[in-house]
């Protein structure tokens, strides 16, 4: 059954500086659609949203909307007005006579987005301004709601509330977001902007990877067939044309045209499918297994208790994801870890030679007046050291999806996502033994996220990430430190999905225990449950962890084989006399492999314990 058409665009042409962004663009938006709008940086996502709102006129083509429909748009940037309260801003577009009816929605939305409706808009931080903009868009309830990165600066609890709210939203949605899990949970259609054209999937973002790969494979087959066809035509042309009749001359021109078109399409395909070639990160040389230790730590701010009798041991190679609501203590924990803050009671011990690379979500290390080149090379010069190798600044900028011509642009000219990419480029050039990333995914597009995930998967030091991006945590960490508001953060083995399964099981068990009202029944149930509590309960690991567990024995066997080979070579009494340098190199390599084997064995025990319910 077809749904009501709300908006349609046909044969649209949009030019910026004589360059077409879109040619022959056509799409329809129907009632009850939940659309994920995806595409690379610069693909035209914001342009498309401005076409939908009518803020951008077409250079050619048609735009039609059903008379009387309303369109709301959550912009990336919001300019606050002095003297305007959050409450007034949220209701700004609502008619005076209707504001009383909408006031209850303001309370519901503002409470879940942790907004004080009485505060002046000019006193809000950037993240709070974004939440105010989101609140306004939700309260207005337009027929078509356009959301540009709505999850930025929201904690997980707020994101999950937003998902529920949008899933019950009666209007039509179009969403740009880097949060894959968020898109998968709320969409039923995908608009994919790819090289100036739009491809539409009738299913939600959950199936996007599978669908887009199928289209690219189909394109690759078509290009191969065209290549074979053009090769036959070229072979004909190269034999010479005996009679220069019009038919043959026209065919020669057609061959040249086919060849040029094929070259352009092949280049376009390579650009669309290319992956950044990342050099493997070097192994972090560290001897001590314990990186840092919190022992019986207490920390409070006035009457707010942040940590209470908190103890945690962080070991070399740990990959920890930190979760929690805003203000629950995550930043306090990080500051104590790097020595910027001391506990009220207890102790925080750090390995003496421990070095930190710290990504600060406030980007306080970036000077707005510096150029991109100066940020990466503060001492001047065209080359920088990247993991022991000299790289040209422009080439390294290109790795992080910057046009090399922007090397002399000021930091102040960059968008929020570009500033994050620049910070990551600076930190990841030479990451220290402990890498701390505080909300690195804000304002990043999916391509940059994929690149960051690849880099972090190769990193062998200690990794600590604060993030509300669930898919990103699942891909990069193996432990979760959850700040749940009780001043006693808990550590959980696995990624975010495993933590969520744990929470769901805990809540379900609590519900089961509360269903029986008879004290005797409760007591009887407790007696029945007691042996099960003590017994081992196998758990189903996530696909990612199950795959990791399956691969570990092979990795351990290969590492043991290397250790055996090194030991046999070092046992040769003449080895040192023959080549002292090679002897020292092999001794170092042996220590690295032994440390690697220790990490593999510890990880294998962790996963087996998790699988068995220990």
The last residue of one of the domains, among 181, 210, 239, is 210
Better pLDDT: 185 or 537: 185
Mean pLDDT of 193-197: 87
| Claim to verify: residue 458 and residue 548 sit in the same structural domain | no
The last residue of one of the domains, among 442, 477, 497, is 497
Where residue 241 falls among pLDDT bands split at 50, 70, 90? low
Instruction: Assess if residue 282 is contained within a domain.
Output: no
| Claim to verify: residue 465 and residue 337 sit in the same structural domain | yes
CATH number at residue 82: 3.40.50.300
Where residue 7 falls among pLDDT bands split at 50, 70, 90? very high
pLDDT of residue 506: 64
3-state secondary structure 42-109: CCCHHHHHHHHHCCCCCCEEEEEECCCCCEEEECCCCCCCCCCEHHHHHCCCCCHHHHHHHHHHHHHH
Mean pLDDT of 163-179: 92
pLDDT of residue 60: 93
| Claim to verify: residue 269 and residue 408 sit in the same structural domain | no
**What is the share, in percent, of the chain residues with pLDDT greater than 90?**
23
Instruction: Assess if residue 561 is contained within a domain.
Output: yes
| Claim to verify: residue 528 and residue 585 sit in the same structural domain | no
Answer yes or no: is pLDDT of 135 > 70. Answer: yes
| Claim to verify: residue 492 and residue 518 sit in the same structural domain | no
E runs forming strands in 236-352: 290-301, 304-315, 319-324, 345-350
Where residue 27 falls among pLDDT bands split at 50, 70, 90? very high
Instruction: Assess if residue 350 is contained within a domain.
Output: yes
| Claim to verify: residue 196 and residue 139 sit in the same structural domain | yes
- From the list 510, 610, 604, 480, the residue with the least C-alpha distance to 551 is 604
- From the list 122, 140, 138, the residue with the least C-alpha distance to 86 is 122
| Claim to verify: residue 39 and residue 143 sit in the same structural domain | yes
pLDDT in tens, 566-599: 888 887 877 877 887 887 788 888 877 887 887 7
Strands 462-466 and 434-438 come out as: parallel
pLDDT of residue 12: 92
Instruction: Assess if residue 265 is contained within a domain.
Output: yes
The domain of 18 spans 5-210
Mean pLDDT of the chain: 82
DSSP H/E element including 457:
helix 446-458
- From the list 537, 547, 352, 367, the residue with the least C-alpha distance to 457 is 547
Which residues have a Cβ under 8 Å from the Cβ of 511 and sit 6 or more positions away?
A: none
| Claim to verify: residue 456 and residue 520 sit in the same structural domain | no
Instruction: Assess if residue 107 is contained within a domain.
Output: yes
Burial category of 504 from C-beta neighbours within 10 Å (exposed 0-12, middle 13-18, buried 19 and up): exposed
3-state secondary structure of 390: strand
Answer yes or no: is pLDDT of 526 > 50. Answer: no
pLDDT in tens, 337-392: 988 899 999 999 988 878 888 887 777 778 889 999 999 998 888 889 887 788 89
Instruction: Assess if residue 367 is contained within a domain.
Output: yes
Instruction: Assess if residue 15 is contained within a domain.
Output: yes
pLDDT of residue 564: 86
pLDDT of residue 252: 60
| Claim to verify: residue 232 and residue 121 sit in the same structural domain | no
Where residue 530 falls among pLDDT bands split at 50, 70, 90? very low
| Claim to verify: residue 549 and residue 601 sit in the same structural domain | yes
Where residue 182 falls among pLDDT bands split at 50, 70, 90? very high
| Claim to verify: residue 488 and residue 553 sit in the same structural domain | no
pLDDT of residue 362: 72
| Claim to verify: residue 569 and residue 474 sit in the same structural domain | no
Count of the separate structural domains present in the chain: 5
Residues 542 and 495: beta-carbon distance below 8 Å = yes
End-to-end CA distance of the chain: 51
- From the list 350, 351, 349, 346, the residue with the least C-alpha distance to 310 is 346
Instruction: Assess if residue 279 is contained within a domain.
Output: no
pTM: 0.67
The last residue of one of the domains, among 157, 175, 210, is 210
pLDDT in tens, 425-464: 888 888 888 999 988 887 777 878 888 888 888 888 899 9
Count the alpha carbons within 13 Å of 573 in the hemisphere toward its beta carbon: 0
């Amino acid at each position: 059954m077809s749904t009501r058409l709300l908006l349609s665009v046909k044969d649209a042409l949009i030019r910026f500086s004589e360059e077409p962004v879109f040619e022959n663009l056509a799409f329809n938006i129907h009632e009850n659609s939940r659309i994920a709008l995806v595409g690379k940086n610069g693909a035209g996502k914001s342009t498309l949203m401005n076409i939908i709102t009518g803020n951008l006129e077409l250079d050619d083509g048609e735009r039609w909307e059903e008379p009387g429909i309303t369109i709301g748009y959550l912009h990336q940037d919001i300019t606050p007005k002095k003297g305007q309260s959050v409450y007034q801003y949220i209701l700004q577009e609502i008619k005076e006579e209707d504001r009383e009816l909408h006031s209850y929605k303001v309370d519901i939305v503002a409470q879940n987005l942790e907004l004080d409706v009485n505060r002046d808009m000019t006193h809000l931080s950037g993240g709070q301004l974004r939440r105010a903009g989101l609140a306004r868009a939700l309260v207005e309830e337009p027929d078509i709601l356009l959301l540009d990165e709505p999850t930025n600066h929201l904690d997980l609890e707020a994101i999950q509330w937003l998902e529920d709210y949008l899933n019950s939203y009666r209007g039509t949605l179009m969403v740009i977001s880097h949060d894959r899990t968020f898109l998968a949970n709320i969409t039923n259609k995908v608009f994919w902007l790819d090289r100036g054209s739009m491809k539409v999937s009738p299913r939600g973002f959950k199936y996007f990877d599978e669908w887009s790969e199928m289209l690219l494979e189909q394109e690759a087959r078509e290009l191969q067939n065209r290549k074979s066809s053009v090769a036959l035509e070229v072979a004909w042309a190269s034999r010479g044309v005996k009679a220069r009749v019009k038919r043959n001359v026209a065919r020669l021109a057609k061959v040249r045209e086919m060849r040029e078109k094929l070259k352009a399409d092949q280049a376009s395909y390579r650009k669309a499918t290319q992956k950044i070639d990342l050099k493997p990160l070097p192994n972090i040389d560290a001897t001590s297994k314990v990186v840092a230790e919190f022992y019986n730590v207490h920390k409070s701010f006035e009457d707010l208790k942040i940590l209470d009798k908190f103890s945690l041991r962080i070991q070399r190679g740990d990959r920890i994801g930190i979760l929690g609501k805003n203000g629950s203590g995550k930043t306090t924990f990080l500051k104590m870890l790097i020595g910027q803050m001391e506990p009220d009671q207890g102790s925080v011990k750090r390995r003496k030679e421990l070095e930190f690379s710290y990504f600060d979500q406030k980007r306080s290390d970036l000077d707005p007046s510096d150029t991109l080149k100066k940020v990466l090379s503060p001492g001047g010069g065209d080359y920088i050291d990247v993991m022991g190798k000299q790289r040209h600044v422009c080439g390294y900028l290109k790795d992080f999806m910057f046009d090399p011509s922007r090397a002399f642009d000021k930091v102040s000219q960059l968008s929020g996502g570009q500033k994050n990419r620049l910070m990551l480029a600076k930190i990841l050039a030479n990451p220290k033994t402990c890498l701390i990333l505080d909300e690195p995914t804000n304002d990043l597009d999916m391509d940059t996220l994929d690149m960051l995930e690849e880099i972090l998967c190769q990193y062998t030091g200690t990794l600590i990430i604060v993030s509300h991006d669930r898919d990103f945590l699942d891909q990069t960490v193996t432990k979760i430190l959850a700040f749940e508001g009780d001043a006693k953060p808990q550590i959980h083995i696995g990624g975010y999905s495993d933590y969520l399964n744990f929470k769901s099981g805990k809540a379900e068990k609590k519900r089961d225990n509360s269903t029986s009202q008879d004290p005797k029944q409760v007591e009887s149930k407790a007696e029945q449950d007691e042996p099960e509590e003590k017994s081992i309960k196998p758990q189903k690991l996530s696909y990612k962890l199950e795959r990791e567990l399956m691969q570990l024995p092979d990795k351990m066997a290969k590492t043991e084989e290397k250790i055996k080979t090194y030991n046999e070579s070092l046992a040769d009494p003449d080895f040192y006399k023959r080549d002292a340098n090679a002897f020292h190199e092999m001794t170092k390599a042996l220590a690295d492999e032994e440390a690697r084997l220790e990490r593999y064995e510890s990880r294998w025990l962790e996963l087996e314990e998790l699988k068995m319910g220990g």
